[in-house]
């Protein structure tokens, strides 16, 4: 019999208790006298339950969840790859875990050194000249990067005229959202049949109003922008900047660098590239790197050295002192604490584990795995782009019979024990199923996924009703996605 997981409030009974508070001399009368009346709560609305009920409640809830440790999680673009336990282990060292974000700098010099060294590694990996580790997620990094673009043009006296950010129609929704949030207007550039930037559309849109362009490379159709050098030249000749959305850097890690392609600013989605937890939009980490001409606008605080008598291994002290002294036109703070420190420790551990010698294997294996899945499924699902892909492939349910949609395929996949791929993104591909196995999946697990997909395509012909009613083996059946998105109400209401 399936367990009905009730809310703890439903199990609550006034005679039950799961805790005992230590004796205190502070009496209720004392509290009432010493605190303003409207600060004192008359009732604390907490359930009265026993310890074992709490333990079972949360354990059973955790079993309803699906994570990358349950099986393949091919959520293209969002990149849910396995986070090695070594990262977690290192992040739990006392010296890392038991420090406070507001602790005095001279008591955490080891931690600052780690961040300092990580900045250097990220510069080396991306080909940029300096990094800020402050942003809390990819989208927060985008917002920070766009503020840097604004500041750059303010400094040049062009803020009032450079008002447009160009974004390809295949872009992730956070790109236009970040540009608009930072006060820019957005104009869309068309894509070619292979999902790349349409150069004619780009030329048409270029004007002295354009502040910059936001691109991800490989782009969201999983294709490498083969004209990136030409795109960079066009933008720079126009006096505009290039922003790199680093969501897909995992495809080219250790092989190609955005800095060498001509990008002026990059953000990195640490969870995608360097195997840290995603953090649901934060607290994750989305470091932003810039080229030389933008260093002085980086957000505060920047880690630096005040004194050249300090010796640090493998550090170019002159460069660091120089970097600090340039921070005179900063955009200011972008968050209360300096960074999501433990997330950055995990990324640091991951980079060191792979080392210079092996880091390129991440992208190579991610690309190999995505192409394996694409090749195995191309005769079963429509493949709108025939060319080999990078780290993710986009297939389409648009040619299936019986009105079967990408959503039906995804819901049925849950019955076979897989997390669905990304649906309906990028927007330029109808009924898109964007599959990203990542480099960490084994061939056996990918074969299990491929078999499930082939079975579902067969079911779509033989028993479409089954797909339409899927999922059938999950704790919750098909939900009303539109209602969930538009009518979000997640607060517990006391009856």
Ligand X SMILES: Cc1ncc(COP(=O)(O)O)c(C=O)c1O
Q: Please report how close the Cβ of residue 160 comes to ligand X at its closest, in angstroms.
A: 28
Cβ-closest position to ligand X: 138
Q: Which is nearer to ligand X, 127 or 283 (CB)?
A: 283
Q: Which is nearer to ligand X, 222 or 384 (CB)?
A: 222
Helix axes 360-377, 341-358, angle to 10 degrees: 90
Residue of 72, 77, 122, 354 that binds ligand X (CB under 6 A) = 77
78 contacts ligand X (rule: CB under 6 A)? yes
Closest CA to 153 of 211, 234, 238: 211
Q: Residue 264: which residues within 8 A CB-CB, separation 6 or more?
A: 212, 241, 242, 243, 290, 291, 293, 294
110 contacts ligand X (rule: CB under 6 A)? no
Write out the two tokens for 53: 């009920």
Q: Which is nearer to ligand X, 172 or 412 (CB)?
A: 172
Q: Which is nearer to ligand X, 111 or 175 (CB)?
A: 175
Residue 352 C-alpha from the chain's centroid: 21
Length of the chain: 495
Strands 164-168 and 185-189: parallel
Q: Please report how close the Cβ of residue 136 comes to ligand X at its closest, in angstroms.
A: 9
What is the strand order of the sheet 422-423 is part of?
393-396, 432-435, 422-423
SS3 assignment, position 125: helix
Q: Residue 350: which residues within 8 A CB-CB, separation 6 or more?
A: 84, 86, 87, 274, 275, 276
SS3 assignment, position 405: coil
Closest CA to 132 of 313, 270, 14, 280: 270
Q: Please report how close the Cβ of residue 140 comes to ligand X at its closest, in angstroms.
A: 7
How far is Cα 413 from Cα 269, in angstroms, rounded to an integer? 27
| Residues 295-334, mask of contacts with ligand X (x by CB under 6 A) | ----------------------------------------
The interface with ligand X within residues 121-160 (CB under 6 A) comprises 137-139
Q: Please report how close the Cβ of residue 143 comes to ligand X at its closest, in angstroms.
A: 10
Q: Which is nearer to ligand X, 135 or 471 (CB)?
A: 135
Q: Which is nearer to ligand X, 171 or 457 (CB)?
A: 171
Q: Which is nearer to ligand X, 168 or 471 (CB)?
A: 168
How far is Cα 64 from Cα 79, in angstroms, rounded to an integer? 21
Q: Please report how close the Cβ of residue 356 comes to ligand X at its closest, in angstroms.
A: 26
Q: Please report how close the Cβ of residue 425 comes to ligand X at its closest, in angstroms.
A: 8
Q: Please report how close the Cβ of residue 281 comes to ligand X at its closest, in angstroms.
A: 5
Ramachandran angles phi, psi of 284, nearest 5°: -115, -145
Helix axes 406-415, 443-462, angle to 10 degrees: 120
Q: Please report how close the Cβ of residue 303 comes to ligand X at its closest, in angstroms.
A: 22
> In sequence order, which ranges of 302-359 are alpha helices (DSSP H)?
317-325, 341-358
245 contacts ligand X (rule: CB under 6 A)? yes
| Residues 261-290, mask of contacts with ligand X (x by CB under 6 A) | --------x-----------x--x-x----
Residue of 150, 172, 391, 412 that binds ligand X (CB under 6 A) = 172
Q: Which is nearer to ligand X, 191 or 460 (CB)?
A: 191
Q: How many CB atoms lie within 10 A of CB 167?
A: 23
Strands 393-396 and 210-215: unpaired
Q: Which is nearer to ligand X, 250 or 296 (CB)?
A: 250
Q: Which is nearer to ligand X, 108 or 137 (CB)?
A: 137
225 contacts ligand X (rule: CB under 6 A)? no
Q: Please report how close the Cβ of residue 177 comes to ligand X at its closest, in angstroms.
A: 10
Q: Please report how close the Cβ of residue 284 comes to ligand X at its closest, in angstroms.
A: 6
Q: Please report how close the Cβ of residue 426 comes to ligand X at its closest, in angstroms.
A: 9
How far is Cα 236 from Cα 240, in angstroms, rounded to an integer? 5
SS3 assignment, position 12: coil
Q: Which is nearer to ligand X, 108 or 334 (CB)?
A: 334
Q: Please report how close the Cβ of residue 360 comes to ligand X at its closest, in angstroms.
A: 22
Summary count for the chain: helices (H), strands (E): 19, 10
Q: Which is nearer to ligand X, 49 or 213 (CB)?
A: 213
Q: Half-sphere exposure of residue 61, counting CA atoms within 13 Å on the CB side?
A: 9
247 contacts ligand X (rule: CB under 6 A)? yes
CA angle (241, 293, 160) in 5-degree steps: 50
What is the strand order of the sheet 185-189 is part of?
130-132, 288-290, 265-267, 241-245, 210-215, 164-168, 185-189
Q: How many residues in the shown chain lie near ligand X by CB under 6 A?
A: 15
The interface with ligand X within residues 173-202 (CB under 6 A) comprises 174
Contact set with ligand X (CB under 6 A): 77-78, 137-139, 172, 174, 216, 220, 245, 247, 269, 281, 284, 286
């Amino acid at each position: 019999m399936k367990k009905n997981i009730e809310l703890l409030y439903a199990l609550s009974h006034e005679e039950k208790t799961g805790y005992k508070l230590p004796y205190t001399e502070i009496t209720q009368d004392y509290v009432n006298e010493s605190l303003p009346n409207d600060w004192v709560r008359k009732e604390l609305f907490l359930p009265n339950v026993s310890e074992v009920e709490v333990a079972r409640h949360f354990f059973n809830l955790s079993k309803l969840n699906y994570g990358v440790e349950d099986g393949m999680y091919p959520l293209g673009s969002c990149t849910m790859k396995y986070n090695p336990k070594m990262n977690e282990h290192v992040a739990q060292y006392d010296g890392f875990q038991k420090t406070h974000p507001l602790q005095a700098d001279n008591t955490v010099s080891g931690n600052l050194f780690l961040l300092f060294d990580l900045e250097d590694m990220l510069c080396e990996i991306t080909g940029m000249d300096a990094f800020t580790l402050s942003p809390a997620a990819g989208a927060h990094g985008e917002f920070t990067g766009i503020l840097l673009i604004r500041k750059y043009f303010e400094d040049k006296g062009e803020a009032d005229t450079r008002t447009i950010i160009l974004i390809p129609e295949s872009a992730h929704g956070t790109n236009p959202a970040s540009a608009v949030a930072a006060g820019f207007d957005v104009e869309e550039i068309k894509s070619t049949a292979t999902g790349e930037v349409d150069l004619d559309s780009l030329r048409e849109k270029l004007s002295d109003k354009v502040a910059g362009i936001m691109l991800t490379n490989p782009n969201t159709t999983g294709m490498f922008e083969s004209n990136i050098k030409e795109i960079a030249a066009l933008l720079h000749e126009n006096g505009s900047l290039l922003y790199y959305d680093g969501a897909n850097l995992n495809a080219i890690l250790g092989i190609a660098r955005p800095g060498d392609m001509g990008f002026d600013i990059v953000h990195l989605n640490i969870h995608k590239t360097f195997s840290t937890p995603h953090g649901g939009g934060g607290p994750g980490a989305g470091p932003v790197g810039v080229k030389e001409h933008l260093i002085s606008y980086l957000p505060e605080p920047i880690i630096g050295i005040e004194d050249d008598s300090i010796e640090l291994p493998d550090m170019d002290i002159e460069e660091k002192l120089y970097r600090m002294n340039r921070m005179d036109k900063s955009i200011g703070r972008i968050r209360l604490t300096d960074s999501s420190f433990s997330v950055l420790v995990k990324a640091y551990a991951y980079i060191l584990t792979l080392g210079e010698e092996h880091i390129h294997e991440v992208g190579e294996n991610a690309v190999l795995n995505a192409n394996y899945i694409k090749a195995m499924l191309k005769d079963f699902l429509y493949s709108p782009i025939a060319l080999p892909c990078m780290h993710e492939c986009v297939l389409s349910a648009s040619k299936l019979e019986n009105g079967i949609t990408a959503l039906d395929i995804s819901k049925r996949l849950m019955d076979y024990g897989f997390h669905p791929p990304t649906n309906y993104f990028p927007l330029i591909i109808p009924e898109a199923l964007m599959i990203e196995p990542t480099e960490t999946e084994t061939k056996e697990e990918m074969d299990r996924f491929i078999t499930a997909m082939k079975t579902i395509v067969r079911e779509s012909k033989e028993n479409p009703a089954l797909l339409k009613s899927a999922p059938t083996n999950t704790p919750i059946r098909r939900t009303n996605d539109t209602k969930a998105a538009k009518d979000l109400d997640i607060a517990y209401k006391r009856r």
